[in-house]
Amino acid sequence: MSNPVSIKRALVSVFYKDGLEPIIKKLHQLGVEFYSTGGTQQFIEDLGLPVTAVEDLTGYPSILGGRVKTLHPKVFGGILNRRGNNSDIAEIAEYEIPGIDLVIVDLYPFEATVASGAAEPDIIEKIDIGGISLIRAAAKNFNDVVIVSSKADYAPLLTLLEDKNGQTDIADRRLFAARAFNVTSHYDTAIFNYFNRDSSVDAFKISQGTSTPLRYGENPHQQAAFYGKLDDVFQQMNGKELSYNNLLDADAAMALIRDFEDTTFAIIKHNNACGVATRPTVKEAYLAALAADPVSAFGGILIANRKIDVATATEMNSLFFEILIAPEFELDALEILKGKKNRIILATDGFTMQPKQVRTLLNGLLVQDFDTFTETAADLKTVTTIAPTAQEVEDLLFANKLVKHTKSNAIILVKGGQLLASGTGQTSRVDALQQAIAKAAKFGFDLNGAVMASDAFFPFPDCVEIAKGAGIHAVIQPGGSIKDHESIDYCNNNGMAMVTTGHRHFKH
């Protein structure tokens, strides 16, 4: 059943008034009576239209500095009364409560106030009481009442009023109710998370109010969407729509590049770096990164932490890649790169990371802090009689940044601020090392003088034995194995330097 309802009376009290005027005018044209408060009442009066103050309806003024305005039976009775219930009809008549068929109410900007860095008293005052109560009441009584709970619903409401001449059916009202409960649940989650910043309450709540449908998920037969605001992360300057896999790779690329301050270029494939280099210029960094694995770079994700200039754009334009991410682009460089219409170009100057990393698992969620720890020279403990040289320390720290962002088990080989090769996602650390050595040889790299990073400790000396045979001079690893001494002893006996960090960097 459609259960049509004609809108005769509307309660309107909103914080955001942009886009409200045509709705008010259309409702007036349809003969709808208005009840309102404060600034919204003044807004309607300034349009030259009649409006009844809520204070006149209730017989009570706004009190407690505006904290109590609409919390009254004459307001909530008008919203919550069931039009087909004889007892409700009798009580409404007895207490002279006018029925309210439409509620247009939004909420104080709590999240924006928190984000602004406001003092706590100002934040607390932005916890809406009356507004959220009105929204819940109208949404609960969707059988008889339309609820518009945010400015995002202004346009759909106006279309509905114009198309149906002030009437709504049950499907319309149910949809608006669903949107309203989405608004209130998101709002309450934001307030809870503000109060639970120290995690004193054993609960985890997350709410993302907007979504971007994706063409498909990891594979074409999987549906997918991104929940969040991509526009807050980057500006898309060219190319097709981002896919699920594009977003995973872009996230991996941005997490990696965040750990580098010097001019650095990275190439990502399936969430792992296949080329990274730090050089004086972006072009030099790009060429050194590409040299590490020009085969895997095909169809990869490229990222730099400096502006892309014409020289770099010209050099990379011949490579087929999915995405290029950088903080800025020279205009002429951008024109060169836009020559391929599907090539995705993203400009980003950073964004606020989510505080927690979340993964669905079994019948629940896994939640953890992000691995944001990045070692410095002060964190390195030399455990061998031979200490690494200054250049080796630079390379060890470079390699350790990369191994942190590489799927376990992971081994990274570096020399001169350049990734030479990596062993990624292997079930054996020895296999990861052998994979890296073979890859370095494939692309013609001399490993003599290179350094090695491992994401976890060495339970046996086999890896340092293999590394020595390949020409590697220095090793960085977390340490912590009960057999650490075996690897350390081998290094001491074979002229290798080893440092430990005390921090493991597994990535699964």
* Residue 155 in tokens: 């346009």
The 10 Å CB-count burial string (b at 16+, else e) for 295-327 is: ebbeebbbbbbbebbbebbebbeebebbbbbbb
Tell me, what DSSP letter sits at residue 72?
A: S
Catalytic residue selected from 270, 338, 340, 503? 270
Angstrom distance (rounded) from CA 372 to CA 505: 10
Nearest-CA neighbor of 326 among 294, 292, 300, 350? 350
Backbone phi, psi, residue 84, to 5°: -100, 10
Cα 90–Cα 93–Cα 98 angle in degrees, nearest 5: 125
At 469, the amino acid letter reads G
Instruction: Report helix, strand or coil for 360.
Output: strand
Does 505 qualify as catalytic in the annotation?
no
* Residue 72 in tokens: 């009254």
Angstrom distance (rounded) from CA 138 to CA 149: 10
HSE-CB for 191 with a 13 A CA cutoff = 18
The 10 Å CB-count burial string (b at 16+, else e) for 108-145 is: bebbebbeeeeeeeebeebbbebbbbbbbbbbebbebb
Nearby residues of 231 by Cβ (< 8 Å), 6 or more positions away: none
Cα 84–Cα 86–Cα 90 angle in degrees, nearest 5: 120
Compute CA 226 distance to the chain's CA centroid, rounded to the nearest angstrom. 9
> Is the four-CA dihedral 227, 232, 234, 240 of positive or negative sign?
positive
CB atoms within 10 A of CB 224: 16
> Is the preceding peptide bond at 317 cis, omega within 30 degrees of 0?
no
Compute CA 437 distance to the chain's CA centroid, rounded to the nearest angstrom. 36
Catalytic residue selected from 8, 25, 126, 140? 140
Angstrom distance (rounded) from CA 112 to CA 16: 13
With left for phi above 0 and alpha for psi between -120 and 50, is residue 96 left, alpha or beta?
left
Instruction: Report helix, strand or coil for 410.
Output: coil
Does 140 qualify as catalytic in the annotation?
yes
CB atoms within 10 A of CB 59: 8
Looking at the chain, the number of H-run helices and the number of E-run strands are 18, 23
Q: What is the largest CA-CA distance in the chain?
A: 98
Active site members: 140, 270
